[in-house]
Structure 1
Amino acid sequence: MNKIESRHQLIRSLILEKKIHTQQELQELLERNGVHVTQSTLSRDIKLLNLVKINEGNSTYYVINSIAPSRWEKRLRIYMEDALVMLKPVQNQVVLKALPGLANSFGSILDAMEIPEIIATVCGDDVCLIICEDNQAALDCFEKLKQYTPPFFFSKR
């Protein structure tokens, strides 16, 4: 097991053992266990591990999000049907244009799905830039995403 995998395993254990309310609290617990991480690394770990904060009374704490990938796929299909304006591969990227205010939702769903071709998503108000390793990965990603669009979406163009 490499350093990152063991850190992720420790984070999962800590989350399951105790209610952790802040990133700083999690960072301190990791340090007590001999693991030193920066805040930015911890933020990436939280995203990769699909940790979310839930409300309980008047406090919030981290839990492991239990939404299964198939539910993310269903959610993506709904968003594609209701909010997709344009989907186009451009060099090593795929540009996804959405209705105003919904690009970040697309980005979050795509990140949660952990599609191997996607390195990162960068989202604004109505555009989600999907960054891939190279041109071929972008084309492969585009083809995968097309599967979630309504049948009429590309035929009407």
Structure 2
Amino acid sequence: MTEVSRAGRHAALRQLLHEQRYSSQAELAAALEARGILASQSTLSKDLLALGAARQRGADGSLVYVLQELDTRAATRLARLCAELLLTIRRALNQIVLRTPPGAAQYFGAALDQAGLDGVVGTIAGDDTVLVIAVDEPSAAALAEQLERMTITGKATEEE
């Protein structure tokens, strides 16, 4: 077995996940080992997180690892955080004021920024409040509706 760089492990993991379905990290570790790459469970877990691999239900109902695109991951994370953290959504013209539990606003605001939602000019976060500035009133209305839907469903899109 040879020592492989992080980038090399990531490339091998991407290829493995595109070629076949894996339901556990042990299966992935064995597949990597068959290619001459040794990785501890801790390293493999970090690599999967860095690649955006997540376990999702397959067509047969079993959980398998799949790669998600960055934008999809960020939107999915935002939807989950909306359901968990968003207490109120209030709109005033092109601005939206979001309330979270104390200490969660900056974390939520960062997730909102990473999601790159259409119409957002920027965000400002305090302790329990996030101010979202939209490009105009219609964009603010659409964004408020989108955040409300995410809060209720916990999903980024209606298809999920």
TM-score by length of 1: 0.51
Ranges of 4+ aligned residues in structure 1 off by more than 2 Å: 69-83
Q: Secondary structure at the match of 1:41?
A: helix
Instruction: Pick the structure with greater CA Rg.
Output: 2
The change in CA–CA distance for 1:74 and 1:59 in structure 2 (over 3 A counts) is closer
Identical aligned pairs, as a percentage? 22
Q: How does 1:47-126 map to 2 (within 5 A)?
A: 47-56=49-58, 57-66=60-69, 68=71, 71=75, 75=79, 78=82, 81-82=86-87, 84-87=100-103, 96=104, 113=114
1:118-149 deviation digits (Å, cap 9, x = unpaired):
xxxxxxxxxxxxxxxxxxxxxxxxxx772881
* Structure 2 residue runs without a partner (length 5+): 88-98, 115-122, 133-160
The answer for unaligned runs of 5 or more in structure 1 is: 88-95, 98-102, 114-143, 152-157
- What code does the residue aligned with 1:23 have? Q
Q: Distance in 2 between matches of 1:30 and 1:53?
A: 18
State whether residues 29 and 39 of structure 2, in contact with CA within 8 Å, keep that contact through their aligned partners in structure 1. Answer: yes
Structure 1 contact 81–149 (Cα < 8 Å) conserved: no
Asked if structure 2 preserves the Cα contact closer than 8 Å seen for 1:77 and 1:149, the reply is: no
Q: Which moved more, 1:58-67 or 1:5-14?
A: 58-67
2:130 to 131, 149, 156: 149
Amino acid aligned to 1:55: R
